[in-house]
Structure 1
Amino acid sequence: MLLQPKPKNARSKRFLTNRDPKVVENQKTAIFIRGSSTSQVILDTLKDLYSLRKPNAINFTKKNEIHPFDDETGVEFFSRKNDSSLFAVGMHSKKRPHNLILGRTFNYQVLDMIELGVESCIPMHQIKSQACAVGMKPLMIFNGEAFSQDENLMLLKNILLDFFRGESADMVSLKGLELVITVTAGPRKSNGEPGLVFLRTYTTSFKKSGVRQPRVELEEMGPSLDLSIRRTRHPVEDMWKQAIKVPKELKETKVKNISRDGLGDKYGRIHLGKQDITKIQTRKVKALKKKLDNRPSKQMELD
């Protein structure tokens, strides 16, 4: 592990201050590490994932003797040195061909990770379509009930959402939606384990529809990956509680009798005291007027 150096001038002090914990953290940086032995499938996969993650990504082109599931020190060293909390490691061996590891770190320590086998890869340069702009916030779509039932697929979904979440935005314009990533869970194996996971990437094109809103069509951009789940490491409970802890400054102060529904609509509850119905002002209608006791009625006048 690297020791925290002391700043020697104002510039180094600002640099170290930028790494300190904040109420609103900086955007997460992802590092893409190449193992000691890789295949062309893994190189294409890492290159395309890096292009989707730019500009908040660092790509390592040199080989590194690194095995996260056996020894975490290598990943933690690169994480601290580059101030990154996301990592992707690609390697290839006879026992685990076309191996891809995605994971996260907290406080420069490995939080969780998942090992995937790239069964099939169609890179971007083989798909003749227009690529989206750099740094676009994608629309993530997860198809299949297994993403809410299987623990390993739930972990994969959480890591992928963290990997491609981009900048936080309250509203997104339709014209700004250029990137769509779909992740589909295939049928389970005969032994009950999760099957293949299909990751597809699309760009949007707007066509005339005859109305104000255009017709949106999807065009495959790449990469197109077929993934199989191999090994997983779930987060430790104590570290996970620290990682998801929300600062007091960001917690919303609870206002009495005000609530919000799942869509964010605001509702207020008003408590009124007991009302005297006899004093309520009503419409002045002749039939509701009180008759005077000394006033003769029309029937008596006729008599």
Structure 2
Amino acid sequence: MSVKNGEVEGPKNILLFKAPKCSNSGRQLLRDFRILKRHNSVFQTHMTQHMNGKHQTVKDEAIHLARNYKCGLYCIASSSKKKPLGLEIGRVFNKLSLESVKFKVLDYVPIDAFRRAYTHRNISETSDYAVSLVIAQGSFFSNGSMKQAKEILTDFFHSYNDGKIYLEGVEQAIIISSKEPDLIYIRRYKIGLTCGTGADSPKVQLYEMGPSIDLQLTDSCIPDPELMKKAMETNKKIHITPGIGVDKKIIKRGKNAKTTIMANTVGKVYVPPQNFDQIYTPHAKLRKQRGKEND
């Protein structure tokens, strides 16, 4: 959400929270999210509804745990009569709930169901550190609650940001699409690259790896304007110049300044022409007396 030093921040830690009423499909869905976000996610279950002597809702407990684990996102899986499988995904900023969206899961196929299929085809799984290519498509993401849902889901699934991308390092693609006003489809594919003889560019093949999720947007919580303004604030770009045997200093990058390979800052400074005969120095008289004595 926020921008630091002119660069978009990396992926946030995610709290995966199981509500007290949660079906087996909800637990399996959280496990699949844990597989996709194994390096920056925390899985917790509902423990108690009383914290600090006050009755707390499931959302309040999830936000409380997100603060403790320093998570910027939370995902709650629950079950009810109206929603056999429901999801709530939201952002946390400054230890407060910033915004959230609620979904009803219409259809869900776990990763294990796809795993049985691609093992027979000798297709290997993606590596633990695979970079995900997240694509959000659909005309219904242009405004309103659907746009908010798209931004939160993209923030939920996006991987690490880097100025350089190694093509073979992008092993999987997560597609978030919308064909109807309140329906969202999430699919995950493995990207296979095969180079043919005499071809300049590799041939791309997609293998669906799961999970396959169909969501219906049921509700959304609009962020507070003042809190959203603070979350979107940007910091001035700073330059850190480390030195050998010297503590690190944080300074503003000056004009006509650059950093060398040895991490030293080199800058050009304009100095006007100086007439040394007219420059006053406090020891000018003493220098003249010593000159006469030498003569």
**Same-fold status (TM-score > 0.5):** yes
- Residue 175 of structure 1 aligns with an amino acid whose one-letter code is E
Whole-angstrom CA distance in 1 between matches of 2:238 and 2:138: 33
Give the secondary-structure state (helix, strand or coil) at the position aligned to 1:180: strand
Instruction: Give the number of the structure with larger relative contact order, counting CA–CA contacts within 8 Å between residues 6 or more apart.
Output: 2
Partner residue in 1 for 2:46: 63
Whole-angstrom CA distance in 1 between matches of 2:97 and 2:138: 28
Partner residue in 1 for 2:151: 158
Partner residue in 1 for 2:215: 227
Partner residue in 2 for 1:75: 62
Structure 2 matches for 1:9-158, cutoff 5 A? 27-60=11-44, 62-64=45-47, 72-127=59-114, 128-129=117-118, 130-149=124-143, 151-158=144-151
Richer in strand (by share) = 2
User: Over residues 169-217 of structure 1, what are the superposed CA-to-partner deviations in whole Å (9 max), with x where a residue is unaligned?
Assistant: 1121110111101111122xxxxxx232111000111123331421011
Identity %: 25
Decide whether aligned partners of structure 1 residues 137 and 65 sit closer, same or farther in structure 2, where only a CA change above 3 A counts. farther
Decide whether aligned partners of structure 1 residues 250 and 228 sit closer, same or farther in structure 2, where only a CA change above 3 A counts. farther
Decide whether aligned partners of structure 1 residues 200 and 27 sit closer, same or farther in structure 2, where only a CA change above 3 A counts. closer
| Contact map agreement 2:11 2:158 (CA 8 A) in 1 | no
Decide whether aligned partners of structure 1 residues 197 and 253 sit closer, same or farther in structure 2, where only a CA change above 3 A counts. farther
Whole-angstrom CA distance in 2 between matches of 1:26 and 1:171: 14
Within the candidate set 165, 176, 180, 2:173 is matched to 180
Whole-angstrom CA distance in 2 between matches of 1:240 and 1:254: 31
Alignment pair present for 1:215 and 2:181:
no
Partner residue in 2 for 1:269: none
- Residue 165 of structure 2 aligns with an amino acid whose one-letter code is V
User: Over residues 20-51 of structure 1, what are the superposed CA-to-partner deviations in whole Å (9 max), with x where a residue is unaligned?
Assistant: xx868675210100000111221221111121
Whole-angstrom CA distance in 1 between matches of 2:59 and 2:25: 24
Structure-2-length-normalised TM-score: 0.69
- Residue 134 of structure 1 aligns with an amino acid whose one-letter code is D
Decide whether aligned partners of structure 1 residues 226 and 250 sit closer, same or farther in structure 2, where only a CA change above 3 A counts. farther
- Residue 236 of structure 2 aligns with an amino acid whose one-letter code is K
Whole-angstrom CA distance in 2 between matches of 1:168 and 1:155: 21
CA displacement at 1:73 relative to structure 2 = 2.7
Of structures 1 and 2, the larger Rg is shown by 1
**The 10-residue stretch of structure 1 (206-215 or 87-96) with the greater mean CA deviation from structure 2:** 206-215
| Contact map agreement 1:32 1:59 (CA 8 A) in 2 | yes
- Residue 91 of structure 1 aligns with an amino acid whose one-letter code is S
Decide whether aligned partners of structure 1 residues 200 and 254 sit closer, same or farther in structure 2, where only a CA change above 3 A counts. farther
How many residues were matched structurally?
A: 224
CA displacement at 1:71 relative to structure 2 = 6.4
Whole-angstrom CA distance in 2 between matches of 1:244 and 1:91: 31
| Contact map agreement 2:10 2:161 (CA 8 A) in 1 | no
Whole-angstrom CA distance in 2 between matches of 1:123 and 1:81: 30
Whole-angstrom CA distance in 2 between matches of 1:72 and 1:239: 19
Give the secondary-structure state (helix, strand or coil) at the position aligned to 1:249: coil
Whole-angstrom CA distance in 2 between matches of 1:227 and 1:171: 33
- The runs of 5 or more residues in structure 2 that have no matched partner are 50-55, 119-123, 240-251, 256-295
Partner residue in 2 for 1:201: 188
Whole-angstrom CA distance in 1 between matches of 2:230 and 2:253: 21
| Contact map agreement 1:32 1:58 (CA 8 A) in 2 | yes
- Residue 55 of structure 1 aligns with an amino acid whose one-letter code is H
Partner residue in 2 for 1:240: 228
Give the secondary-structure state (helix, strand or coil) at the position aligned to 2:182: coil
Decide whether aligned partners of structure 1 residues 166 and 96 sit closer, same or farther in structure 2, where only a CA change above 3 A counts. same
